[in-house]
Amino acid sequence: MSEQPVYDTLILNGTVIDPAAGRNGRYDIAVQDGKIAAIAPDLSKARAKETISAAGLLVLPGMIDTHAHVYQHVTGKFGLNPDMVGVRSGVTTLIDQGGPSCMTIGGFRHYVSEPAASRVLCFISAYLVGGLEGHLYPDLYGPNGVNVEHTVRVAQQNPDLVKGIKAHAEIGGQSRWGIEVIKLGKQISSRLDLPLYIHLGQLWPTADSAPIPDPDELIRELVPIMQPGDILAHPFTRHPGGFVSESGEVHPILLEAVNNCGVRVDVGHGSHFSFAAARKVLEAGVVPFTLGADMHGYNVQVPNSNEDSDRTSNPFFGVAPFNLTIAMTELLHLGLSLEQVVAMVTANPATMLRMEDSLGTLQPGREADISVLKMETGRFRLSDNTGEEVVSEKLLRPIFCLRAGTRYDANSFFVPDAIAA
What is the pLDDT averaged over residues 301-329?
67
Contact predicate 399/29, CB 8 Å: no
- Assess whether pLDDT exceeds 90 at residue 379: yes
pLDDT tens string 100-130: 999 999 999 999 999 999 999 999 999 999 9
Please choose, from the candidates 254, 221, 256, 215, the residue with its C-alpha nearest in 3D space to the C-alpha of residue 238: 215
User: Is 199 labelled as part of a ligand binding site?
Assistant: yes
Looking at residue 43, its pLDDT comes to: 97
- Assess whether pLDDT exceeds 50 at residue 54: yes
pTM surpassing 0.85? yes
Residue spans per domain, the chain: 6-60+362-409, 74-353
Alpha helix (H) residue ranges in 3-104: 82-85
Q: Which residues, other chains included, contact 322 with Cβ-Cβ below 8 Å and sequence gap of 6+?
A: 269, 273, 293, 295, 300, 416
Please choose, from the candidates 388, 286, 296, the residue with its C-alpha nearest in 3D space to the C-alpha of residue 340: 286
Collapsing DSSP to helix, strand or coil, 328 comes out as helix
Higher-confidence residue: 259 or 91? Answer: 91
Q: For CA atoms 203, 208, 210, 212, give the dihedral sign.
A: positive
What is the pLDDT averaged over residues 84-95?
98
- Assess whether pLDDT exceeds 80 at residue 292: yes
Collapsing DSSP to helix, strand or coil, 412 comes out as coil
User: Is 67 labelled as part of a ligand binding site?
Assistant: yes
Question: What CA–CA distance (Å, rounded) separates 379 from 341?
Answer: 20
What does pLDDT average to over the chain?
92
Task: Kindly compute the dihedral angle of the four CA atoms of residues 200, 205, 206, 208, in this order, to the nearest 10 degrees.
Answer: -170
Choose the CATH number for 74-353 among 3.30.70.20, 3.20.20.140, 3.90.1150.10, 3.90.180.10: 3.20.20.140
Question: What CA–CA distance (Å, rounded) separates 207 from 369?
Answer: 46
User: Is 234 labelled as part of a ligand binding site?
Assistant: yes
Long-range contacts of 37-45 (CB under 8 A, 24+ apart): 37/5, 37/7, 37/364, 38/7, 38/364, 39/362, 39/363, 39/364, 43/10, 43/12, 44/12, 45/4
CATH topology of domain 6-60+362-409: Urease, subunit C; domain 1 (2.30.40)
pLDDT tens string 21-36: 999 999 999 999 999 9
What is the pLDDT averaged over residues 310-323?
58
Question: Among 36-45, 74-83, 130-139, which is the least confidently predicted range?
Answer: 130-139
Q: For CA atoms 196, 197, 201, 206, give the dihedral sign.
A: negative
CA distance to 163, 179, 184, 229, 289, per residue, from 258 (Å) = 21, 20, 22, 10, 10
Contact predicate 351/374, CB 8 Å: no
How many Cβ atoms from other residues are within 10 Å of residue 360's Cβ? 29
